[in-house]
């Protein structure tokens, strides 16, 4: 598998409206794009004056500093039509002392924003100045977003989606990009209620004060391919990913690694009242560390009448841990996989070298599950005992 990670840009000077290079990117005679000189007013004027389908070409390696909002809660003019912005290595940043708070981009219904080779940094969405969603980028219902080789870093939302927030019926396609160091209540890197595709990208080092450090997918569909979700944290559950609300999420040829929750469920992944499919993927090194915390690698459960359905195909769940203290009758169990009344199928997969404070260390379930050419071995203190699983021995 091939993974792409783009380095974060160096810190930029605050409280100035200037740039790091002197001119726009050169455009050839056949280039249909409009060059945007390296100063903030030129950027806002170009976006507000753009026609449907226009292409803006930013000054190469320029830093466009946003020191005041363009409108309440918005750093730049909102996007209500098809627009492409070629970054050419540029950065759009909300300066740290800019007041009041504002996000960077907002795609409205009917808007279709494509960003390429760009860094989006330092946005801050709060309830006081808007919805509190989408610190870096907010996409409204029936809006569309495409990111290609884009860093979405160091953004904050008081509610959902520190990096990117997708509303119901919104669509995002993220390729060869890096979503990192973002902070929110839920879904710190990405919060999606729409259709999400992530390919050859990394979601890393984001922090959720409650749920879903890297990604929270609430309903609709998500497909994640050849990507890394790593070193994210959440205070309550779903250090890496929380999949819920009847969502159908597929993670293929990817790695969910070294994520942590200090709460009670799912250091790597939580699937709650939704469908989660892992194909040819690895869940490793994740930790749930709260008192009575369950499912260091994966936590699967129902929500109301909606079954938590987990398919693991050709994948491995290894070296995860549930290492928190026991809390009365609530035991810290299942370093590998914890299943509470949901549906689990392991097909040509293995659960190995996981650990927990109390047995079992490998897989704990209170209902029968399906094992097809799969093994649960070398977990401590036990593999499955005291919750016997047909095909699992200790």
Domain regions of the chain by residue span: 32-211, 236-394
Whole-number pLDDT of residue 129 = 86
Residue 91 near residue 122, CB atoms below 8 Å: no
> Side by side, which strands form the sheet with 337-340?
105-107, 137-139, 164-166, 190-192, 215-218, 241-244, 269-272, 298-301, 337-340, 363-365
Q: Which residues of 236-270 are buried (b: 16+ CB within 10 A; e: fewer)?
A: bbbbbbbbbbebbbbbbbbbbbbbbbbbbbbbbbb
What would the pLDDT profile of 241-253 be if each residue is shown by its tens digit? 999 999 999 999 9
**CA-CA distance, 128 to 147, in Å (whole number)?**
28
- Look at residue 29 in the predicted model and tell me its pLDDT: 59
Comparing 37-41, 98-102, 209-213, 343-347, the range with the smallest average pLDDT is 98-102
List the one residue out of 347, 346, 348, 373 whose CA is nearest residue 363: 346
pLDDT for res 61: 98
Q: Give the mean model confidence (pLDDT) for residues 316-323.
A: 98
Q: Show the CA angle centred on residue 363, arms to residues 358 and 366, nearest 5°.
A: 90
Higher local confidence (pLDDT), 42 or 6: 42
pLDDT band with cut points at 50, 70 and 90 for residue 393: confident
Angle at 53 between CA 47 and CA 55, to 5 degrees: 55
Q: How far is CA 146 from CA 166, 183, 230, in A?
A: 12, 21, 22
What percent of the chain shows pLDDT beyond 70?
93
Task: Please tell me the distance from the alpha carbon of residue 362 to that of residue 45, in angstroms, as a whole number.
Answer: 58
Element (H, E) at 282: strand 282-284
* Statement: residue 20 has pLDDT above 90: no
Tens of pLDDT, residue by residue over 118-163, are: 999 999 999 988 899 999 999 999 999 999 999 999 999 999 999 9
How confident is the model over 89-100, as a mean pLDDT? 92
Measured in Å, how far apart are the chain's first and last C-alpha atoms?
33
d(CA 351, CA 338): 12
Residue 333 to residue 363: CA distance in whole angstroms: 8
Report the alpha-carbon distance of residue 380 to residue 151 in Å, rounded.
39
**Burial (Cβ within 10 Å: 0-12, 13-18, ≥19) of residue 378:** middle
Residue 200 has pLDDT above 80, yes or no: yes
Contacts of 370 (CB under 8 A, 6+ apart): 344, 345, 346, 347
Is the pTM higher than 0.85? The answer reads: yes
Tell me the β-bridge partners of 107.
Answer: 79, 139
Residue-averaged pLDDT of the chain: 93
- The rounded distance, in Å, linking the Cα atoms of 335 and 376 is 12
Instruction: Determine the Cα–Cα distance for residues 91 and 342; give it in Å rounded to an integer.
Output: 45
Q: Which of 44, 53, 101 is nearest to 77 (CA)?
A: 44
């Amino acid at each position: 598998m091939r993974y792409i990670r783009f380095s974060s840009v160096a810190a930029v000077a605050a409280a100035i409206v200037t740039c790091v290079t002197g001119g726009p990117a050169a455009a050839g005679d056949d280039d249909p794009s409009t060059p945007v000189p390296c100063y903030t007013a030129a950027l806002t004027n170009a976006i507000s004056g753009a026609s449907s389908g226009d292409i803006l070409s930013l000054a190469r390696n320029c830093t466009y500093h946003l020191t005041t909002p363009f409108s309440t809660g918005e750093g730049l003019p909102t996007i209500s039509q098809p627009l492409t912005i070629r970054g050419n290595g540029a950065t759009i940043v909300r300066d740290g002392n800019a007041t009041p708070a504002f996000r960077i981009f907002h795609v409205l219904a009917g808007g279709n924003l494509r960003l390429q080779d760009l860094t989006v940094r330092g946005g801050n969405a709060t309830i006081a100045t808007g919805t509190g969603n989408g610190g870096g980028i907010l996409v409204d219902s029936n809006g569309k977003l495409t990111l290609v080789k884009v860093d979405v870093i160091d953004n904050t939302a008081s509610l959902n989606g520190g990096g990117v927030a997708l509303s119901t019926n919104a669509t995002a396609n993220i390729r060869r990009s890096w979503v990192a160091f973002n902070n929110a209540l839920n879904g710190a890197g990405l919060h999606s209620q729409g259709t999400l595709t992530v390919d050859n990208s990394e979601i890393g080092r984001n922090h959720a004060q409650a749920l879903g450090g890297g990604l929270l997918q609430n309903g609709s569909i998500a497909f994640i391919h050849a990507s890394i979700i790593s070193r994210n944290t959440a205070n309550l559950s779903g250090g890496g990913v929380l999949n819920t609300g009847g969502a159908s999420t597929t993670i293929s040829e990817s790695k969910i690694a070294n994520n942590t929750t200090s709460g009670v469920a799912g250091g790597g992944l939580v699937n709650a009242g939704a469908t989660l499919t892992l194909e040819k993927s690895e869940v490793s090194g994740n930790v749930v560390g709260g008192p009575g915390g369950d499912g260091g690698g994966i936590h699967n459960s129902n929500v109301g009448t909606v079954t938590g359905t987990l398919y693991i195909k050709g994948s491995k769940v290894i070296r995860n841990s549930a290492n928190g203290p026991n809390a009365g009758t609530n035991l810290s169990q299942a370093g590998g996989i914890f299943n509470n009344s949901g549906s689990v199928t392991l097909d040509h997969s293995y659960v190995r070298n996981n650990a927990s404070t109390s047995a079992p260390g490998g897989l704990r379930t209170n209902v029968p599950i399906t094992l097809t050419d799969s093994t649960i071995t070398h977990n401590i203190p036990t593999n499955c005992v005291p919750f016997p699983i047909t095909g699992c021995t200790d």
